[in-house]
Chain A
Amino acid sequence: MPLLEIHDLHAYYGNIQALKGISLNVDQGEIVTLIGANGAGKTTTLRVVSGLLKPSQGKVLLNSQDLSEYKAHEVVDQGVAMVPEGRGVFSKLTVFENLELGAYSRSDKVEIQEDIERIFGIFPRLKERRTQVGGTLSGGEQQMLSTARALMARPSLLLMDEPSMGLAPVLIESVFESLLEINKQGTTILLVEQNAHMALQVASRGYVLQTGEIVLSDTADGLRENEMVQKAYLGIE
């Protein structure tokens, strides 16, 4: 049963049409990836799902409930969390405060503390740096923090925008490992990536987005075998 359904979504930035009627769905428990070049509309799709951008047309359904009229903070209450492009760590707030804010929509104080402890167990680096402000963390640590912060909302759907961007290859590896781990613990993931190679390794299915339209959708294996995908996104001639 689909957790997230997107129907015929259109969106604009001013006069520029960024999405030209895309449809996709993500089933409960899946990792689905959205690949495409710069400016294809990947980030726009996530911005619409998370409520940061209002679509001009189309529907975003979460558990069959329409989210397209919700504001961003209300979408969080519905169980959608996002790891934004560029990580979006609050640079003047401490690591601990960043995590607390991730749980802003929750009121169960005791469990929030338990979740923070659990996250410190998974990411000991964050525990070491708990009183440091976000701006002093390295790129890899910021990615950990941003992911951990999104998990603090206990989302049923996690949106990830280019988690590999700007990271060293060895760190990218560990980001995707943690992604699989998060998924295994029951969180559904919609992953936007330019690094199609890595994305197709962790995802079960994928969509290819080109200038605001979905041009291809298949299983991850199918996409990896596809000639167009190989040429355009995997660098295989």
Chain B
Amino acid sequence: MGFDVSSFIEQLINGLTVGSFYALIALGYSMVYGVLTMINFAHGEIFMVGAYVGLYTMNRLVDVGLYDSSKILAVGITFIAGTIGAAITGVTVERLAYRPLRRAARLAPLISAIGMSIFLQEFIRLLPNMGEAITSISIGSFTLFPENIQTAVVGFLQEFGGSRVKTYPGVFGVGGFDIGDIHITYSRLIILIMSVLTMLGLYFLVRYSRLGKAMRAVAEDKDIASLMGIDIDQVISRTFLIGSALAGIAGVMMGMFYLQIRPTMGFVPGIKAFTAAVLGGIGNIPGAMLGGYALGLGEVIGVQFLPAVYKDIVSFSILVLILIFKPTGILGEVLAEKKM
């Protein structure tokens, strides 16, 4: 097998694109771990919900013609909608499934998270069925909802969710440019730039804003933080909001990049982003970004030597190796007993 430098560089750029997805999702895992010391295993599904809300919004913008008249505006609105959808989902999950278990044994919120993960997947998958079941309730010959409402509700829900694969319009196109022998598509470049800007924004938020300081204080010691007058529940809720918003951005981006979305799409990126978060040092925000890119690059380098189908094996081997040899990750520190 010959070694082709320009195709290797293209692969590296590919790795950075995939790494951007991992990094954006990994941040949510790490931020939540920072304030709650729990792994939000429903995070991959929050990412998926972001992709669905984004697609629904985009399809409506196509319907009203905005997509054709101003593509940039339509894409912007799609991102905002997907981000808000994911953020609301994340905050709701925290409120309903994690907050009541705040003082429970450590295993309880973890199991609750796995439950939420399955729930969200099935919820999106079964939405049209549920809509049909509810709107066709009848008592004797009396139907609760007239037929036209039933059709409208089921139609709407079919547009939104369902078990079948849904497809984003090809927003980015297939265009690109060449530097020497190296071909770079615009889509990868856009994803890379957007991700880096988003993460810079997050970094400054955590570093300099009042909320960011409160988040770091809560991560270090909740009791002492509350003695400063910090409302712990509110800070935790906002941490979920921000982490989920980032997952929503990643969800819409991934939809636009790979085009196809499905209810199970959150699982593999979710667990890989978790790997990235562990790789960088869970609880550490720059670590999550670094871990995401390192994992993306690790995958493409791995498949230089192995068949491409071994990609996932490379990722998860990395996870196992880190957990054995450096459980604190690249930037992580020793986890204090009291945080466990």
Query: Interface residues, chain A, CB within 8 Å of chain B?
Result: 50-52, 71-73, 76-77, 81-82, 84, 88, 90-93, 97, 100-102, 104-105, 149, 153
Contact = CB atoms under 8 A, between A and B. Distances in A.
A9 to B, nearest CB: 19
A148 B264 CA distance: 52
With most chain A CB atoms within 10 A of its CB, the pick from B213, B229, B230 is B229
Given A72-B223, A88-B221, A90-B221, A104 B228 contact: yes
A92 B221 contact: no
Interface in B268-291: none
Interface of B: 210, 213-214, 216-217, 220-221, 223-232
Contacts, number: 62
A230 B185 CA distance: 83
Contact of B213 (A51, A52, A101): A101
A51 B227 CA distance: 9
B229 A105 contact: yes
A69 B210 CA distance: 27
Contacts of B220: 90-93
A104 B221 contact: no
A228 to B, nearest CB: 33
A72 B227 contact: yes
A81 B213 contact: no
Given A52-B223, A72-B223, A84-B224, A90 B216 contact: yes
Contacts of B223: 52, 72, 84, 88
B229 A97 contact: no
Contacts of B224: 84, 88, 90
B226 A93 contact: no
Contact of B217 (A51, A72, A84, A101): A101
A145 to B, nearest CB: 12
5 contacts: A73-B232, A97-B216, A100-B213, A104-B228, A153-B229
Contact of A93 (B217, B229, B232): B217
B interface, by DSSP: helix, strand, loop or mixed? helix
A52 B227 contact: yes
A84 B228 CA distance: 11
Nearest to A50: B227
B226 A101 contact: no
Contacts of A88: 221, 223-224, 227
Contacts of A81: 227
Contact of A76 (B210, B213, B214, B227): B227
B228 A92 contact: no
B77 to A, nearest CB: 34
A190 to B, nearest CB: 14
B216 A92 contact: yes
Contacts of A90: 216-217, 220-221, 224
Of A76, A84, A97, A101, most B-chain CB atoms within 10 Å = A101
Contacts of A92: 216, 220
Nearest to B227: A82
A104 B226 CA distance: 10
Nearest to B220: A90
A99 to B, nearest CB: 10
Query: Which of B213, B217, B225, B228 has the most chain A CB atoms closer than 10 A to its own CB?
Result: B228
